[in-house]
Chain A
Amino acid sequence: DTEVTQTPKHLVMGMTNKKSLKCEQHMGHRAMYWYKQKAKKPPELMFVYSYEKLSINESVPSRFSPECPNSSLLNLHLHALQPEDSALYLCASSQLVNYGYTFGSGTRLTVV
């Protein structure tokens, strides 16, 4: 299995809602990542988990809360988002820091 699976593919949520994005990989990778991509821009790093511990938080607002329950799963909990948080959210994994990254197909989030 050489895939990173993200669910849901599309999500529309109100500003008072709580929702979660899920990411799963079964490649034995020990690093997992959340990226955010706005339209016509490159992806930007949000969080890095290494060996299930948060190692990088790129000054992301607290309304985004990551969680790594085990080495195969990565969640992103969303609460009280703003319309400007609408974007494509991409999950990725890698064996180690300087090995190739594999990306999921993303969750397209719209905040209304």
Chain B
Amino acid sequence: GIQVEQSPPDLILQEGANSTLRCNFSDSVNNLQWFHQNPWGQLINLFYIPSGTKQNGRLSATTVATERYSLLYISSSQTTDSGVYFCAVNTGTASKLTFGTGTRLQVTL
């Protein structure tokens, strides 16, 4: 099956700093999503981005499908950005959304 690796695994930032999270995948994908899992377990959809670039406030994402990676940018980080960030992908006609290994982000004051 497809392999989805995220880096870095852990990240500690001071409030106000910027960061880039990376997602590498081993095969062509039809769907790629970025999620933020808050400390209570809720998975919040950030972006549906199988290709191209999207922005939503302080967050933006870019997927380069031909090179099999996606980037999530967080600018001016806030403590509420803390949690785990997952990318997840579908391949072909499969209904199986496969999650990456995750990046655990802690934003401190």
Contacts and interface: CB of A to CB of B under 8 A. Distances in A.
B48 A100 contact: yes
Main secondary structure of the interface of B (DSSP, over half): loop
B93 A101 contact: no
B95 A106 contact: no
Interface of A: 31, 33, 37, 42-45, 48, 50, 55-56, 58, 88, 90, 92, 97-103, 105-106, 108
B50 to A, nearest CB: 8
Interface stretch (B13-21, B30-38, B57-65, B66-74): B30-38
A42 B99 contact: yes
Interface of B: 30-31, 33, 35, 40-43, 45, 48, 50, 86, 88, 90, 93-102
Contacts of B101: 42
B42 A105 contact: yes
B30 A106 contact: no
B41 A108 contact: yes
B94 A97 contact: yes
Nearest to A90: B43
- Max chain A Cβ within 10 angstroms of own Cβ: one of B40, B41, B88: B41
Contacts of A99: 31, 48
A41 B100 CA distance: 10
A48 B48 CA distance: 20
